[in-house]
Each structure stands twice: as C-alpha cells, then as structure tokens.
Amino acid sequence: METILIIFVAVLFLLAITDLVVGVSNDAVNFLVSAIGSRSAPLWVIMIIASLGIVFGTTFSSGMMEVARKGIMHPEMFTFMEIMTIFLAVMLTDIILLDVFNTFGMPTSTTVSIVFELLGAAVAISLLKLADSPDGAAELIDYINTGKALAIITGILLSVIIAFSVGAVVQYFARLLFSFNYTKSYKYFGALWGGIAVATITYFILIKGAKGSSFLSKENVVWIKEHTWEILFYSFLGWTAFMQLIKMIFKINILKIVVLFGTFALAMAFAGNDLVNFIGVPLAGLTAFKANADSLSMEVLTQKVQTPTLYLLIAGLIMVVTLWFSKKSRTVTRTSLNLSRQDEGVERFGSSLFSRSLVRSFISFGNGAKAIFPKSLISAMERRFEKVSAPEPINGEDTQAFDLVRASVNLVVASILIAIGTSLKLPLSTTYVTFMVAMGTSLADGAWGRESAVYRVTGVISVIGGWFLTAFVAFSVAFIFANIMHLGGPAAVFGILALAIFLLVRSRFVHKKREVKETESKDDTIALKLNVFDRCIYSVNETLKTVQSVYQKNIVGLYKENRKKLKEAVKEAKKVNHDSKLLKDNIHNTVRELQENSIETGHYYVQVVDNLREIAHCLRFIAEPSFKHIDNNHKGLTAAQTEEARRINIVMSNLFKEILRTIENGAYADMENVVEIQTEMLALIGEIKKNQLRRIKHGETSTRGSLLFLNMLAETKSLVLHVINLLKSQRDFVIFRIK
C-alpha cells in the first residue's frame, strides 16, 4: 500500500509539471498581448521582462496555496485516500481540459478550471461517503466549504464586470488627457502619468502582495503595512522624477517604460495569483502524505503552511521555459488582439441579434446623452478622440493593434485588480481580468465603432460563453473521474492516467497538423506583406496555379470515380475561396497603401481581386457537386462524357499554361495565343453542350449525370471568362504602373 501511495504522490508531481506547461501556454497571452499589440519593444525584450516577472512573482504566491487545501472543501472530513483521489481527479481533468483548449487556440481560465474541478471531485467523493447516510445530500454542506467556494466564484464573476468597467473608465479619462495625438500632452503629463502608474503598481504588487511572500518575515510585513502611505508617497515622487529625468536626458518614451514595467507587473501578478492553479494541489497532496494518515482525517490541511521558496522558484523556471518554447501559446493571442485592435478590417466573429440590439441601444443612449450636454463640450471631447494613423509595419511585422496609452492602461488596471485579489486570497481569473480590461479600454477608446461594434460584441459574448463552458466541463469531468477512481481503485487511476497520456500525445499531432495548415496558409498569403504591385502579381500567379491543379484533379477524379481525389479537390477549392476572400477583405488596407496619384492603379487591383473571387466561386461550384455525386454512389460519366471531359482538361491546361507564361514574363502585348485558346475552349464547350443535349433527348444518360455534366460545362465557361478578365485587369494594372 505504501508503494501505491508513493506512486500516487509522484504522479501528482509529474502532473504538476505537465499542468504548468499547459497552463502557461494558455495564460501567457494575458500579460504579453498589450506589449506585443502596441509594439512597445522587440519581442525578445518583452519575453525577458515577462520571464523576470514570472520568477519574481512565484515567491509571492505562497499564501495562495491555501485555496487548494481548504478553499473549496473541509479536508478534515476526508481520509488520506479520499483526498488523494480528489487531487488526482483534479489534476488529470485540468491537464486534459487545458490541453484541449490550447490545441484549438481557445483562451480559457486556469483559475475557473481548478476551482470547479476541486468542487466537482469533492462533491463526488462526498456523495459517495453520504450514500448510506439517512440525511444523504443534506450533509453535503459539512464536506464542502460552501462559504469560501461561493466567495471565490462570486469574486471571479464580479471580476468580469469590475474589470470591464474600471478599464473603460480609466481609459476614457486617459484618452481625454492624452488624446490619440498625444505628443503635446505627453510633454506635460508623461512623467506624471508614468509616476502614478508605476507607483500604483508598486503599491499593489509589493505592499498588498507582501502577505503571501515566502521570503518576507512577519516583521517585514508589519513594517510595510504600518508605513504604507509613506512608501506610496515617496514611490510616486521617486518614479515621477525618474521618468522626467530619462525623458529629458535620454529622450526615452515614458509610455514604453510604463508598458514594459506593466508587463513585468502583470507577469508577476499572474505568477503570484495563478501558480496555485498548477502546483497547489500537488503540494497539498505532499503535505497529506507527510502526515502519514492513511485512515485518519486530513485536518493537517487546515493548518497554515508556508510553501518553501525553492519549490516556488522551480515552478517559476518551468513556467519561463514554457513561455519561451510553447508553440500552443502563440495561437491564443489572436482573439484578444482581434477584438481590441483600433483599426477596422476582417472580423473573426459574425453578428447576432443580441449584439445588434445592444449596439443599437448604446447608440440611442449616446445620442440622448449628447443632447443633455453643451455642444461645445461635446465637440471638445470628440476632438480628443480623433484617430491618427497607426505606424506602418516594419519588415513585414504585424501592424500596431493599439497605441501605448491604451497598452499602459490595460497593464496597469489589470495588474492592480489581480494584485488586489491576491492580497485578499481570492484567486481571480487572470484571463477574465486581462481580457475584460482590454475589452473595456477598447470600448472607451472608440475601437468598437459603427463598422465593427456588432462583431466585437458577438466575439466578447462568445468568449464569455466559453468560460461558462469551462466551468461546466471542469466540474463534470472531475466529478466523473473521482467516482471512477474511488470505485475502481488503483487500476482506475492508472487507466485514466493512460487516457490522459494518450490524449496529450494525440493533441500534439493535432496541433502540429494545424500548424502545418497555418504555415501553408501563410505561405499562400505572403503577398500581403509585399507592396501592392508585387502583391497582385504574386496572388494571381499562386491562385491560378492552384485553380489549374484543382480543376485537373476534379476532372480526373470524376471520370475515374476517385472519391479521394475529388475530396481533395473540394478541400483545395475551399482554400482558394478562403484566400481570395482574405484578399478582398483586405482591399481597403491595400488601396490605402497606394499613393494619391495611383487611384487608377488601385481600381485595376480591385478588378483583379474581384475576378479572383469569381474564379474561386466557379471552382467550388464545379468541385463540390462532383464530389457529392460520386460520394452518393451515383453513376459516373459515360464513355462519351469521359472523352469530352479529357478534351476540356487538355485545352484548359493549355490555356492556364499560356496565361501564367504571359503574367510571369509580362508579355501583355502579345496575347494572341491566349485569345485563340479561349476561343477554342468556348467553341469546344458549346459543341460538347450540344452533344449532351442530344444524349438527353435519346435517353443515353441519367438525369443526375446530365445535370452534373451541364453544370460543369456552365461553370467551366464562366471560369474561362473570369480568367480572361483577370488577365486583362492584370495587364492594365501593370501597364498603368509603368506609365
């Protein structure tokens, strides 16, 4: 039995390491997105600062470890084996749940997951213990720390509202102070703003977090508490003077210093608040094992225990390594940046009835508020919110999602709120706080304009809905795992452990496959990083090559009745459609890149993209019906239809070959060969269409086969016409550029 227990504890710590990896992969976006979105520094600088913040923050998380031991349940009501069952169920559920979310790039809350997993597993074991009790579930309150659990859950939910509201209010006044063109205001208020921001962070992170520190003595904590206002006052004076000094002497942008300091603070707050989510349960299991109480109650877990600093630092180093090397953490950033970016563009989410109604209500409210205040005041305030152009991308980098003013507010407000939660020993969700602060500042900053508001609101609602899903799944899976382990014993534990390993390995392959797909997509959209002229040429070439390949694959797959080849054709046709849509959705940004005297060039570029879009539609309307026809096991092409399809394929290949040669060589003056092949193709399509009508009249082909063949001929004709139109637009585009 002792061997089994040792193995269980060892498994807990192995799971802790794994949980650190999957947890940081999900939460890294919380403290990186503001610095990355505002391009406040090179990525490697941001990563180093965040890493230092994590390592330092882990030493402030000691007090938070009590949440895992007695925050959700009354440990004295359980035996050692029951406690170990609960802890194992929690850790296995947490790893599987977070890894699934990471694999698909979905941000979730590690705090919510651990709280509801503890609740689900504890309720499961409690109900099993009370199965023979006359009062049954009525005694559940004796096992579950309902008061503390309710306070934690309420704190998490309230943090959503508070974070959004505080972020919006602070950002609104910050923008009134600085405006978007903050160069002038920055001269007068930059140092003051920096001093307030950094002093405030210092107060909440250092002073409020001191109670949970593993290296500060009680005397130190008492001294800090007694001299709070003195520390705050002198910190403000010192930081303000320092900011003014570096601005005057070194000409350093103070807002960049604030953003980087805020990144450090938020990474530190994350480590101090969220480390319990990853190692709190295993450390509690180790404490229980050291008590060596196999059949006695786990009252030892109710006692205050100081976590050794060494354990915290080891956990911090694992988190830092994960931060640098985890590939799954990179995909989670997109949602937050997409919903908070200042400019308009392609929106990830659609609109909904609720979002449309909500936006309509806010517009009415805003119009009503404007009628109350003097017009001069409204005009003065609106001038402070007049947008300026964002910096252009450098060396193909992403554009700036928002400016340094908003980035500084995001980091300062989020770190303050999380630090307050840490000081009150409430495990606020870092994800919820940082995300909702970012959404609040976006709203106040006018990023949710009339062109994007409904999509952004839908996105926020979708993310929040995912958070509720996290809570439900965490509770349910932990509840099920705890029941299985309690009833099945060690065999069930190792069985679920094997399942977790299998899912982790499988998710690795799934994520790798998604990465390959994304890499291919990036390769196909390299044109977006080129100048507008080279972009057009690149896009046309790549799209036409793919169209030729898909069309040929579809024709061959159809007359050979090769279902696999037709399925590949459909998949590639959808990708062409997706890429062409991206190009069209980015037309606004592309045209803005053109100089004022190049409006006509932009006009031709729009024509090119429109034709690409139509070509993609034709390709889908050819590929999808062909696959569906064979997939439903309908009759394939007749011998005559097969021969005609081959003839079409040959002429189409010649047409694309000649068009690609013309574009690549820029030989637009000599397009006679292209026109001749087009004429040949249109004549061939007309001839084959007449042949098909004769076959229908004589009953030589099935109804479905006839409809499919006629549809293919019609879409092929449209495809040819759009390809020729594209070539002409491309010719005009290049010729006008030369002029």
pLDDT tens, position by position, 412-433: 888 778 767 766 666 667 777 8
Shared domain for 503 and 539, answered yes or no, is: no
Shared domain for 258 and 213, answered yes or no, is: yes
* Cβ-contact 533, 598 below 8 angstroms: no
Q: How many domains are there within the chain?
A: 2
Short-list 616, 401, 399, CA closest to 529: 399
620 lies in some domain? yes
CB atoms within 10 A of CB 556: 16
Cα separation of 479 and 682, whole Å?
Answer: 66
Q: pLDDT at position 197, please? A: 84
Q: pLDDT at position 515, please? A: 58
* Domain termination site, one of 465, 495, 519: 519
Q: How many H helices and E strands in the chain?
A: 25, 0
Shared domain for 197 and 212, answered yes or no, is: yes
* Cβ-contact 22, 98 below 8 angstroms: yes
Residues whose CB is less than 8 angstroms from the CB of residue 178 and which lie 6 or more positions away in sequence, other chains included: 185, 186, 189, 193, 405
Shared domain for 270 and 369, answered yes or no, is: yes
Shared domain for 458 and 549, answered yes or no, is: no
The count of C-alpha atoms lying within 13 angstroms of the C-alpha of 508, restricted to the half-sphere facing its C-beta, is 7
504 lies in some domain? yes
Short-list 75, 152, 148, CA closest to 111: 152
Q: What is the CATH number of the domain that holds 556?
A: 1.20.58.220
Shared domain for 221 and 145, answered yes or no, is: yes
The three-class DSSP label of residue 105 is: coil
**How many residues are recorded in the chain?**
739
Q: pLDDT at position 100, please? A: 78
396 lies in some domain? no
391 lies in some domain? no
Shared domain for 531 and 513, answered yes or no, is: no
* Domain termination site, one of 519, 546, 566: 519
Strand partners, 297: 79
397 lies in some domain? no
202 lies in some domain? yes
Q: pLDDT at position 182, please? A: 74
* Domain termination site, one of 469, 484, 519: 519
* Cβ-contact 59, 215 below 8 angstroms: yes
Shared domain for 713 and 606, answered yes or no, is: yes
Q: pLDDT at position 106, please? A: 64
399 lies in some domain? no
* Cβ-contact 487, 129 below 8 angstroms: no
Helix axis angle for 404-423 and 2-37, nearest 10°, is 150
Shared domain for 666 and 599, answered yes or no, is: yes
Shared domain for 505 and 530, answered yes or no, is: no
* Cβ-contact 436, 160 below 8 angstroms: yes
Q: Which residues of the chain have pLDDT under 50?
A: 63-64, 293-295, 392-397, 521-528, 596-597
30 lies in some domain? yes
Shared domain for 308 and 420, answered yes or no, is: yes
Q: pLDDT at position 384, please? A: 77
Shared domain for 432 and 494, answered yes or no, is: yes
Q: Where are the alpha helices (DSSP H) in 203-253?
A: 218-226, 228-249
Q: pLDDT at position 435, please? A: 82
What range defines the domain where residue 608 resides?
Answer: 525-738
